[in-house]
Amino acid sequence: MFAALFNIDRAPIDRRSFEAAGLHIEVLGQAGQVAFLWSRNGSPADGEMCGVQSLEERLWIVGRLRLDGRSDSRTSDAARCLQAYARWGEQFLDHIAGDFCFALWDVERARLIAARDQLGVRSLFHATAGATILMSDSLAWLAARPEIGRELDDTWIGDFLAAGVSIDVERTVWRGIHRLPSAHVLAVTEQGPSIRRYWQLSVDEPLHYGDRRLYGERFRELTALAIADRMPPGRVGVSMSGGLDSTTLAAAAVEVAGDPARVVADCVHFERLMPDDEKFFGMMAARQLGIELRTTAIDDLAYDPDWRMRSIPTPEPMVSIVHAHPDRLLNRAMAAEAGVWLFGEGPDNALRFERRAYLAWLFGQRRWGRLAQAAWQYLGAKGMGDWAGTLRRYTTRDRSGHAEAELPSWLTSDLVERSQLEDRLRSLDKGGGETAHPWHPEAIASFSHPVWERMFASCDLDETQAPFVWRHPFLDLRVLHFMLSVPPVPWARRKLLMREAMRGRLPEPVLARDKTPLARYPLAEAIRRQGLPELPPGDRVGAWVDVERLPAGPISDADLDRVVAVHALDYWLTQQRS
């Protein structure tokens, strides 16, 4: 972890309290009013900077940085970041991309700048205690500081109990600690702090090539660049199912590594809880690629019946605590295979097939040639079987309208009223409104959904429990922008872009396979078989939950996560008090 402190009243930092905690510390500023702290000074296998560096002692930086575009391996990512700031000032963030969170001290301007990467892969938190501004990548470290209050944020808790995620990404479970949103920068001077957004995800015109083969070639080229920037010197791991996204990552990793022996894949699957053919397709892809595939049946790992007896600290309440112990065992087994693991999230969002929005935009722009071409491509690509399915959907669909999510009946009316929870829940899945993208609205808006914060927080927890790091090549801005820029018709339909790019590189059955959701909810199946423990005696959650109204019998899939959230909150409060 790392942290930075700034006393805006120019009072010197008392370094003795931090030295006792076993942290490295560097006190800066003419009056010693700035301090950088860090618990390690090293790098993961792919060269991520963790620690502190300086540029001629004029600029100092502490944090975690892994930057894209590593054309010069002799220059560290921290040095590149400092050089960019020296050249462009606060606009330097327009010239760097990657996975990062850091604090940078400008000696001459007496200014502290903290930034978080464009998509929020790395987390950064900040708090104010009197005249001191504190920031850190560790929420737990900030919460443990005696100068920061321990009051809980009722709004965050209401969101967690109703939606499983904080609807306001700036909030944390602690009222006095805030999360810096992705693509934002926090600047602090003696006049105080200020926060601004420095980047916005957007695409302008659709990308049209005269030769359709260029789409697949460019996708492979950009994916290879993204993986190369994340590739460790030794082996790299791929979290691989039998689906298109993860097998594409594996195929690209083999190409970048130049040796299949440097790529290992991990496939988790079910054998008893539900039908699951991920292992079958994963093994098929691994054989063609020539890579090692480790398969693990997780029927007994989807839920830990002894989870309440574990002592697994988490910075905030997490529903995943009910399988955190099995996850920890899996993570440690993965870390023994490779220090860097690739995760395939991204294409499901970027390649949303938004034909209506795209065709309507072409019509409104009077681009008759493109419209005719897109309509012809769409008509020809569907085939008779798909058209039959479309006809069935339109003739049998529910015409009653979209059902809005309902609040759990066991939440106290006081919580619902004071946090305006009904309005917040209704706003969670709404589109971009007036700011919606004209021809790719759902895809663009999906990357602002707060569920990404939950996913990255889960990745952070994994990395604290095993010596490895997650990397997300499809979230590389070069790859992501390209996927969002290709015309949705035809390239987003059934991820045609990826299927064409991987033609001849992956087995045909994998390329032809549709995205296959699990037949049942595995956590629900496991809890039905093993049972959810009763809440221990005490009134830890009484301020937010009417425990008497919790379901006494079988729990529906729709309610399960919300019931588990109550148990997870109770467990977290117990851990805090102990």
The residues, ordered by sequence, that sit 6+ positions from 255 with a Cβ below 8 Å of its Cβ are: 220, 224
* The listed CATH number (3.40.50.620, 3.40.50.920, 3.20.20.70, 3.40.50.1970) that belongs to domain 213-351+440-518: 3.40.50.620
Residue from 293, 301, 268, 332 nearest 462 by CA: 332
Residue from 260, 240, 294, 253 nearest 510 by CA: 240
Q: Kind of pairing, strands 34-38 and 2-7?
A: antiparallel
Instruction: Please tell me the predicted confidence (pLDDT) of residue 429.
Output: 67
CA distance 247 to 278: 11
Strand partners, 318: none
Question: Hey, is 352 helix, strand or coil?
Answer: coil
Q: Counting runs of H as helices and runs of E as strands, what totals does the chain give? A: 21, 17
Q: What angle do CA 14, 20, 22 make, to 5 degrees?
A: 115
Contact between 513 and 281 under an 8 Å Cβ cutoff? The reply is: yes
Domain boundaries defined on the chain: 2-124+180-197, 213-351+440-518, 359-396
DSSP state of 152: B
Q: What is the CATH superfamily name and number for domain 2-124+180-197?
A: Aminohydrolase, N-terminal nucleophile (Ntn) domain (3.60.20.10)
Instruction: Please tell me the predicted confidence (pLDDT) of residue 71.
Output: 66
Instruction: Please tell me the predicted confidence (pLDDT) of residue 243.
Output: 94
Instruction: Please tell me the predicted confidence (pLDDT) of residue 264.
Output: 98
Instruction: Please tell me the predicted confidence (pLDDT) of residue 392.
Output: 47
CA distance 98 to 436: 26
Report the first-to-last Cα separation within the chain, whole angstroms. 23
CA distance 255 to 572: 44
Strand partners, 87: none
Instruction: Please tell me the predicted confidence (pLDDT) of residue 391.
Output: 43
CA distance 361 to 380: 21
pLDDT along the chain (578 residues), means of 10: 95 81 86 90 72 94 93 81 95 96 96 97 97 96 92 96 94 98 96 96 95 97 97 95 96 97 96 91 98 95 94 95 96 96 97 95 94 84 50 42 70 94 85 72 94 95 94 98 97 96 97 79 86 88 94 83 95 91
Question: Hey, is 42 helix, strand or coil?
Answer: strand
Residue from 203, 180, 146, 239 nearest 440 by CA: 203
Contact between 281 and 516 under an 8 Å Cβ cutoff? The reply is: no
Report in angstroms the alpha-carbon separations of 537 from 18, 267, 571, 574, 578: 38, 40, 12, 11, 15
Residue from 109, 31, 26 nearest 63 by CA: 26
Three-state secondary structure readout of 444-482: HHHCCCCHHHHHHHHHHHHHHHCCCEEECHHHCHHHHHH
Which bin fits 404, alpha (ψ -120 to 50), beta or left (φ > 0)?
beta
Contact between 249 and 342 under an 8 Å Cβ cutoff? The reply is: yes
Within 181-257, residue ranges assigned H as helices are 213-230, 244-257
Contact between 100 and 115 under an 8 Å Cβ cutoff? The reply is: yes
Name the helix (H) or strand (E) containing 125. Answer: strand 125-129
Q: What angle do CA 167, 67, 183 make, to 5 degrees?
A: 25
